C-alpha cells in the first residue's frame, strides 16, 4: 500500500531536518515540482518552481543544504485525497548561528505510487 501524502510529508520533513539529501531526493517522482515559496522570489525568480530531479536536487543544494539546522513544527494537518496541507513553522539555523522561523502552509501531493508529485510552500519571503 502506497504511503499517504501525510506520511510522505513527514518523511520529507525528517530527511530535510536531518540533512539527508539522498533520502529527501528519493521521495520525489521523476517529474515532481517544488515551489518553495510559491511564486517569484529570490529562491525562484521565474516563480514556476523547480521541476524534475535535476532542478529539485539543485534546490536542495542551494537552499536546504545551506542551512545548519532545520526543525518542522506542524500545528495542524489536513489530509484530503492524495494531498495534505500542513500548517506550522519551520525553525531554521542559518550559517553563523542566526536563528529564524518561517510560518506557513506546506502542501504535499502524492503521485499515488508512494512518491511526492508536488511540494508547495506558502510563506511570505522577507529578506533581512
Q: Domain ranges in the chain?
A: 5-122
| 63 φ, ψ (degrees, to nearest 5) | -125, -70
How far, CA to CA in Å, does 45 sit from each of 5, 22, 35, 92? 28, 26, 11, 22
Q: Give the pLDDT confidence score for residue 1 in this predicted structure.
A: 65
- pLDDT one digit per residue (tens) for the chain, 128 residues: 679 999 999 999 999 999 999 999 999 999 999 999 999 999 999 999 999 999 999 999 999 999 999 999 999 999 999 999 999 999 999 999 999 999 999 999 999 999 999 999 999 977 65
Residues in the chain: 128
Q: Give the pLDDT confidence score for residue 36 in this predicted structure.
A: 97
* Domain 5-122 sits in CATH 3.10.450.50: yes
Please tell me the pTM assigned to this model.
0.94
Q: Give the pLDDT confidence score for residue 96 in this predicted structure.
A: 92
Amino acid at each position: 500500500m502506497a504511503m499517504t501524502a501525510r506520511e510522505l510529508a513527514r518523511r520529507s520533513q525528517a530527511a530535510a531536518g536531518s540533512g539527508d539529501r539522498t533520502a529527501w531526493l528519493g521521495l520525489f517522482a521523476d517529474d515532481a515540482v517544488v515551489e518553495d515559496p510559491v511564486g517569484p522570489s529570490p529562491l525562484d525568480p521565474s516563480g514556476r518552481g523547480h521541476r524534475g530531479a535535476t532542478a529539485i536536487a539543485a534546490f536542495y543544494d542551494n537552499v536546504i543544504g545551506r542551512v545548519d539546522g532545520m526543525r518542522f513544527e506542524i500545528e495542524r494537518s489536513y489530509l484530503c485525497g492524495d494531498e495534505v496541507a500542513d500548517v506550522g513553522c519551520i525553525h531554521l539555523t542559518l550559517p553563523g548561528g542566526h536563528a529564524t522561523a518561517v510560518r506557513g502552509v506546506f502542501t504535499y501531493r502524492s503521485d499515488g505510487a508512494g512518491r511526492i508529485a508536488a511540494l508547495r510552500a506558502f510563506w511570505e519571503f522577507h529578506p533581512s
